[in-house]
Structure 1
Amino acid sequence: MKWKQIPLGPLQTNCYLLFDEEKQCIVIDPGANGEGLIEYIEQEGLKPLAICLTHAHFDHIGAVEDVRNHWNIPVYIHENEKEWLLDPSLNGSARHPMQPIAGKPADHFIQEEGTLSIGPFTMQILETPGHSPGSVSYYLKDIETVFSGDALFNGGIGRTDLLGGDHATLIDSIHSKLLTLPDHTIVLPGHGLSTTIEDERTSNPYL
């Protein structure tokens, strides 16, 4: 199993393509530039099975409808943000100089932590709110990797001054759900470079 990081949009939000040897693929946080993202996925011969969202801020969902409609695949999101895909005032696109994002509801709502299996992929869902109320991280034990969204960054943490954000909740999420993972776990954040749990535990100034 492998992954590819693709920064998209003006905020360079990391979209991730998780794929296996047969090129079946999970698309994580398709944030913008749907046409270009679709073209890249097709050039690579990947076969998307689903879209998994770490949360529903505008810079993480801008290409959801393009990708979903092109392959007719389901979208997964936490139920605490089930309205955010539909409402520009919730996902934040209404407050930015851009076309407001108002798509369709997700197909599947994450209600609790547990195992999520999609085709050959098995991911552990970790609820990591604080940056937003429905933020989740996806942990794949087999490849020792966690997709942390905007909860934990390389040398930083997510902002908490947006709708539903809470600093104390975010710090608790990071300490109780992410820093408890094995030290060598690769952290793939929503923005910026990858890191490891050990590096963030020992050197992140916010922790």
Structure 2
Amino acid sequence: MDRIRVYTGGVASCNGYLFKTKDNTYVAVDAPSGFADWIYSKKPDIIITDLLITHQHFDHVEDACRMRQIFDCRIHAGQPYNENLTLEKMARDAWGLPLNVQPFVVDEVLTSDIHTANWGGLLWHLHQVPGHSADSIVYDLPDEGIMFTGDVIFAGSIGRTDLPGGNLRLLKKGIETKVLNQPATTMIFPGHGPYTTVKNELLTNPFIS
């Protein structure tokens, strides 16, 4: 889709998305390492109104603070910033990753009673899908036929559930009731790897029952 640009960066090759709105501003989804400087190097005059965080694992928020500093965008997430959600300390201690996530302020906490939002002049539907992380949110644009799923579902796979806050039963239930019940042509833009469609995952994803 011409209105979406993707950047992939950081130690976990995380996707950050730029979505162009109808008024020529942008909404960003997730903030992997290097995302802010990549955007600025290509579009220094860009207006990014909002940054949507799918969940706060370190690879999705390493550049959240820098995005705010450079673009003065509002940050939206399922919970306030929390070091326990970023898993930064675990990643450093257990995996030896040289991480330093700068704390950031979540301007709007998207609680479970918030089902829709208007960002960039577009109506977004919000689906809470815990199981990979307790704060996971899927950002759905039904009028555009696209979803940003973070680490809930990937092309041919689903998010891992062996990390703190993981729950396979909850994750699979959320995928079935909030992602794969969308129109078959809906495009899925995940936190890692290539985009896919609801139809393709229903037909080929081995984790879908």
TM-score (norm 1): 0.91
Secondary structure, counterpart of 2:206 in structure 1: coil
Structure 2 counterpart of 1:170, one-letter code: L
Task: Quote the residue 1:140 is aligned against.
Answer: 141
The range that moved more, 197-206 or 110-119, is 110-119
Q: 1:93 aligns with which of 74, 88, 95?
A: 88
2:186 matched residue in structure 1: 185
Q: How does 1:47-58 map to 2 (within 5 A)?
A: 47-58=47-58
Show the counterpart of 2:18.
17
Contact 1:38 1:67 in 2 (8 A): no
Please give the alpha-carbon distance, in whole angstroms, between the structure 2 residues aligned to 1:170 and 1:90.
Answer: 17
TM-score scaled by length of structure 2 = 0.90
Distance 1:128 1:35 in 2: 27
1:109-138 Cα deviation digits (max 9, x unpaired): 001241111231221101111100110101
Q: CA, structure 1 residues 40+115, in 2 after alignment: closer, same or farther (shift >3 Å)?
A: farther
> Could you say which residue in structure 1 is the equivalent of 2:108?
108
Alpha-carbon distance, 1:35 to partner: 4.9
Say whether the 8 Å CA contact 2:34–2:63 is kept in structure 1.
yes
Report SS of the residue matched to 2:163: coil
In structure 2, the partner of 1:197 is: 198
For residue 65 of structure 2, what is the aligned residue in structure 1?
Answer: 65
Deviation by residue 1:121-177 (Cα, 9 ceiling, x = unmatched): 221101111100110101111210000100010000000111111111100010010
Question: How far 1:100 moved relative to its partner?
Answer: 2.6
Mapped to 2, the partners of 1:100 and 1:203 lie a distance apart of 37
Deviation at 1:39, TM superposition (A): 2.0
Once the two structures are superposed, residues 8-60 of structure 1 have per-residue CA deviations (whole angstroms, 9 ceiling, x without a partner) of: 112110100011254200110011114533424525x5310011000000000
* Secondary structure at the counterpart of residue 168 of structure 1: helix
Cα distance change of structure 1 residues 66 and 158 upon mapping to structure 2, 3 Å threshold: same
Structure 2 residue matching 1:184: 3-state secondary structure: coil
- Say which SS state the counterpart of residue 27 (structure 1) adopts: strand
User: Is 2:138–2:148's contact at 8 Å kept on the other side of the alignment?
Assistant: yes
Report percent identity of matched pairs.
26
Rounded to whole Å, the distance in 2 between the matches of 1:23 and 1:129 is 33
Q: CA deviation at 1:102?
A: 3.9
1:125 counterpart letter in structure 2: L
Greater shift after overlay, 149-158 or 69-78?
A: 69-78
Taking only aligned residues, the RMSD between alpha carbons, in angstroms, comes to 1.7
Cα separation, 2, equivalents of 1:121 and 1:134: 23
Distance, in Å, in 2 between the alignment partners of 1:205 and 1:192 is 16
How many Å separate the matches in 1 of 2:159 and 2:206? Answer: 13
How many residue pairs are counted as aligned between the two chains? Answer: 201
What is the alpha-carbon distance in structure 1 between the residues aligned to residue 41 and residue 162 of structure 2?
34
Q: Kindly indicate whether the alpha-carbon contact (under 8 Å) linking 1:9 and 1:33 is maintained by their aligned counterparts in 2.
A: yes
Contact 1:19 1:46 in 2 (8 A): no
Amino acid at match of 2:70: H
AA in 1 matched with 2:163:
L
- Distance (whole Å) between structure 2 residues aligned to residue 35 and residue 188 of structure 1: 19
Alpha carbons of structure 1 residues 164 and 180: separation in structure 2 relative to 1, 3 Å: same
